[in-house]
Amino acid sequence: MNLDALAAARRHSHAFDQGNPLAERNTRRAMWLTLAMMVVEITGGWWFNSMAVLADGWHMSSHAIALGLSAFAYACARRYARDRRFAFGTWKIEILGGYTSAILLLGVAVLMVVQSVERLLNPGAIQYRQAIAIALVGLLVNLICAWWLRDHHAQHHHDHGHDHHHHDGDDDPAHDHAHDLNLRSAYLHVMADAVTSVLAIIALLGGMYFGAAWLDPVMGLVGAALVSAWAWGLVRSSGRILLDAQMDLPVVEEVREAIEAGPLSARISDLHVWQVARGKFACVVEVVAVPGVAAEDVRRALSVHDELAHVTVEMVPATAA
């Protein structure tokens, strides 16, 4: 891409890469609330000898760090939004934050496994009523944070976007490209906490009423498995964007159809598509020249796709293709 194209891309990137101020504010609110609950759960779990509550408190500390990381990513993206060094804007800072947060979430799962196995091997007396009360408060805090961190932008996109971009699977790459993955990582952290709080309550009730003290650490293992699955999905989603591994998205096929199957009936000899912002892509395409078809015709054919923010077209002779 030449310097003029880069300059144009930079100007366009600032036009739609305005950050997510609501998400940043809610992430900060969730971080402070999570920090406060972390102190309560760690203190209460240690005092009342509940592994489920203690484990929830300790891994809540990593969630607080992850929420802080997400807020930091938003702040950095906003601070450097006009920095000319970022050819396509600062959106990928948020993706990097989400990826790092997902790695941290995998570490949380490992910690949960270690602590749960240790408690299985060395069980101790549990003060059930007090521990259940703390777990209930923790669950309420998690639900409040989850409400703050739900992704409004993604919901709006799917309600009003193209039909061919509507997918229900969270691990579907076409579904991920409209999501705020930094916000999603923060959301998954608090949802992981909510799930472990629910499992802790179930385990504590089972121990109190049925004498099944082993449920406490077993539920810790179940929670670790769920957290691992969520974290791995987020690692895959954010990793694909960071590595520009998105040539299997529907938008790529749409580019091919617009050029090769439409009125142009041209042939693509080289194509590169990568994501540069939430729901926005850059496209560099090399088209074999045919009589009556110019680069401007190709750009016009692709202009119907709003998700293509930057399009660079190069026409090459048939002998060079």
> What's the rounded Cα separation, in Å, for the pair 31 and 70?
9
Positions of E strands within 183-279? 267-277
In a domain, 254, yes or no: yes
Both 128 and 176 in one domain: the answer is yes
Give the pLDDT score at 270.
94
What are the pLDDT tens digits along the chain (321 aa)? 443 444 444 444 444 445 567 778 888 888 888 888 888 878 877 777 766 567 667 667 777 887 888 888 888 888 888 888 888 888 888 889 889 888 988 888 888 888 888 888 887 777 788 778 877 888 888 899 888 887 654 444 444 444 444 333 444 554 455 567 778 888 887 888 788 788 888 888 888 888 888 887 888 888 888 888 888 988 998 999 999 999 999 999 999 999 998 788 889 999 999 999 888 999 999 999 888 889 999 999 999 999 999 999 999 987 755
Q: What is the CATH number of the domain that holds 301?
A: 3.30.70.1350
Domain boundary among 200, 220, 242: 242
Note the pLDDT tens digit of each residue in 93-138: 888 988 988 898 888 888 888 888 888 888 777 778 877 887 788 8
- Helix or strand run (H / E) with residue 95: helix 91-121
Positions of E strands within 34-152? none
| Paired tokens of 290 | 């045919």
Give the pLDDT score at 176.
52
Note the pLDDT tens digit of each residue in 138-176: 888 889 988 888 765 444 444 444 444 433 344 455 445
Give the pLDDT score at 253.
94
Both 268 and 227 in one domain: the answer is no
- Contact (Cβ atoms closer than 8 angstroms) between residue 52 and residue 62: no
Give the pLDDT score at 315.
92
Q: CA torsion 142→159→73→66, rounded to 10°?
A: 20
Positions of E strands within the chain? 267-277, 280-288, 308-316
Give the pLDDT score at 159.
43
Give the pLDDT score at 244.
92
Domain boundary among 201, 216, 242: 242
Domain count of the fold of the chain: 2
Q: What is the CATH number of the domain that holds 129?
A: 1.20.1510.10
Give the pLDDT score at 11.
45
Both 161 and 263 in one domain: the answer is no
Give the pLDDT score at 151.
65
Both 263 and 233 in one domain: the answer is no
pTM: 0.71
Both 211 and 312 in one domain: the answer is no
Give the pLDDT score at 191.
84
Both 111 and 259 in one domain: the answer is no
Domain span including residue 234: 3-242
**Burial of 232 by CB count in 10 Å (0-12 exposed, 13-18 middle, 19+ buried)?**
middle
Sign of CA dihedral 128, 129, 134, 137: positive
Give the pLDDT score at 170.
46
